[in-house]
Structure 1
Amino acid sequence: MSSSSSDRFDEVFDEIFEDTFNSIVEAQTNKQKRRAYIERNREAGHDRLWNDYFSEDSTFSPHLFRRRFRMNKELFLRIVHGLSEYIPFFQQRRDATGRFGLSPLQKCTAAICMLAYGSAADTVDEYLRLGETTALSCLHNFTDRIIQLFGDEYLRRPTPEDL
């Protein structure tokens, strides 16, 4: 093979390689879309939830709480407390701007509502003020951590005494 045909081969190879590389890079950058930021006013979501169900003069009675969440308020608060005490995901933190993030109540309520009613993740947005991907993350973390924290005590085979 002469040096001129070798040079031509290298040129063609470099051209094809560069075209292929550029099309791969373009395809990857086109797929990466920025999500639009939506100001959901998460603080108001927490306040609404607190005033409706957890304050001393709450809007809804304990009977309605049990009907809506499929458990009594004491059990619900025990779960929220256990998760927020031991699991960093459920601890309320400040974001980069100094604002508080979602409260443990909001995160647990989102997960329990989706479990109790089998509803879609975006249905909790309007009331609790958190987005669909956040709600799915809450559900995933909730189920994993409930098994981790309470599994040995509650998620076991019945013993002869239980039966």
Structure 2
Amino acid sequence: MREHFVGRTPRLTGYLCGITLGLACLVAGAEATRLVLVGSLSTPAFVGYVAIGAVSGLFLSFVTGYLNGSILASWLAGFVPAAGRLGKPLADGLLFEAGLTLVGALGAGIMLGTVGFVIAVEKHRWDARTASLPDPASRGDLLVLVIISGALGGALFATPALSYAISSGL
């Protein structure tokens, strides 16, 4: 199971994690800048923005999962578009809200990255039939990873909502 967390080459996992964290910081800063300069988006533009982000996150998490077999790198690749959620609290200068939004964005990134990782493992399994590739994660291991990811991602994603509910007395 360890090899599915750290990947086939842990050094590459470290590089991929660093690159994706840098990209996430860039996305958060770009979103904060967009909010300051342009303001809010219309509903259709916002939906398109979210769709592009989700597809980009799936693609990034698929590529990192396929290249290295690391769910950790896939989680952080899924976090890249979710980091855009940090734009509003960063633009408003609300540090506590930015921390809660960060936790929720990490949860969303974990869930998005897990989907990309599952697709990568299944693609790897398909490609291993005709090429000499290392063994992909077994379906049992993949199920365990999905359960862990769902629990961790769901807990992180729900944390901001629970915090707001508790602070408002609901």
Common fold by TM > 0.5? no
Structure with the bigger RCO (C-alpha within 8 Å, sep 6+) is 2
TM-score by length of 2: 0.30
Of Structure 1 and Structure 2, the greater helix share is in 2
